[in-house]
Amino acid sequence: MSSSSFATLRRLAEAASNNGPAPLPEPEHCDLCSIALPPVHRHLLEMSNRQLACACDPCALRFENVIGGKFKLIPRDACALPDFRMSDLEWEGLSLPINLAFLFYSTPKEKMMALYPSPAGATESLLPLTAWESLVAANPILCGMQHDVEALLVNRVEEAREYFLAPMDICFELVGLIRVHWRGLSGGEELWNEIAAFFARLKENSVIVHAGASQSNESTPRSEAAVPNAGRNDA
């Protein structure tokens, strides 16, 4: 999430807490050509620091299918995985401290990474490689996650068991939402309502992919992420 997007979330949250009218959001601009952007627009991932950059469509398309550049184009669509297989024991094997996380392959670090949202932002948790390999074996859809810009987003809060292949900007949106709305030691009721609403919107807007369905991707064949060091060289 860009700094301007986070600032907008912060202003909206402060206005709500003060019972005042929500201020009009400042328009975002393309970080490459400075043109004003509509509320819904593309994002690029800056590989050196894992920061998001906003982009207009013409600038974004310059990075489609580019390998080894400064930026990677983040995909548009999220996929809901209703048939995803993960037991409570397998989740515990990932050694994550909370029931929200997103897992992805980092090309610069040459490894799978697991991040969970917290009041301090996205926090890394050590990811046991054997646990990830077990998940991939049970869920072949993970074989095709795009490196760096797509993640397995997991929501196991309370009774939820929801899994998505999510663009990285959606994962960062969740991180920003939690930073803005967290109150006290446990986050507060408002925060958990916001999280529930976030996943309801995500589910509504996602493409549903059932087990056994193939998901084509021209820039990254779905077989490349089965093993983190599968030989791809994006850097």
Assess whether pLDDT exceeds 60 at residue 216: no
Q: Please check the confidence at residue 28 and state whether its pLDDT lies above 50.
A: yes
pLDDT digits (tens, 9 = 90+) for 78-95: 999 999 999 999 998 888
The 10s digit of each residue's pLDDT in 153-203 is 999 999 999 999 999 999 999 999 999 998 988 888 999 999 999 999 999
Whole-number pLDDT of residue 157: 94
pLDDT at 164: 98
pLDDT at residue 229 is higher than 70: no
Given a cut of 90, whether residue 213 has pLDDT beyond it is: no
For residue 111, the SS3 value is strand
105 residue type, one letter: Y
Q: What is the pLDDT of residue 206?
A: 97
- In this prediction, what percent of the chain has a pLDDT beyond 70? 79
pLDDT band, very low/low/confident/very high, at 3 (cuts 50, 70, 90)? very low
Whether the predicted pLDDT of 235 surpasses 70 = no
**Cα distances (Å, whole numbers) of residue 235 to 45, 106, 185:** 13, 10, 40
Q: Which of 166, 39, 57, 43 is nearest to 102 (CA)?
A: 166
Per DSSP, 151 falls in state E
- Among 191, 192, 69, 178, smallest CA distance to 116 is for 178
Residues 35-74: pLDDT tens digits? 999 999 999 999 999 999 999 999 999 998 888 889 999 9
CB atoms within 10 A of CB 44: 26
What is the structure's pLDDT at 4? 46
* Residue 158, phi-psi category: left (phi > 0), alpha (psi -120 to 50), beta (remainder): left
- Tokens 């996929």 sit at which residue? 79
Q: What is the DSSP string of 73-95?
A: EPPS--EE-TT----HHHHHHTT
Q: What DSSP assignment string belongs to 15-53?
A: HHHTTPPPPPPPPPB-TTT--B--SS-EEEEETTTTEEE
- Spatial distance between the Cα atoms of 147 and 46, rounded to a whole number of angstroms: 13
Q: Which tokens is 18 given? A: 């003060």
Q: Report the run of H or E that residue 164 belongs to, with start and end.
A: strand 162-167
Answer yes or no: are the C-beta atoms of 171 and 177 closer than 8 Å. Answer: no
User: What count of residues does the chain have?
Assistant: 235
Task: Quote the Cα angle for 19-20-22, to 5°.
Answer: 120
* Interatomic CA distance for residues 231 and 72, integer angstroms: 19
Q: What is the pLDDT of residue 195?
A: 95
Number of helices (H) and strands (E) in the chain: give both, helices first.
Answer: 6, 10
Please identify which residue in the block is written with the tokens 């809060």.
Answer: 157
Mean residue pLDDT of the chain comes to: 83
- Give CA–CA dist 174/166, Å, rounded: 11
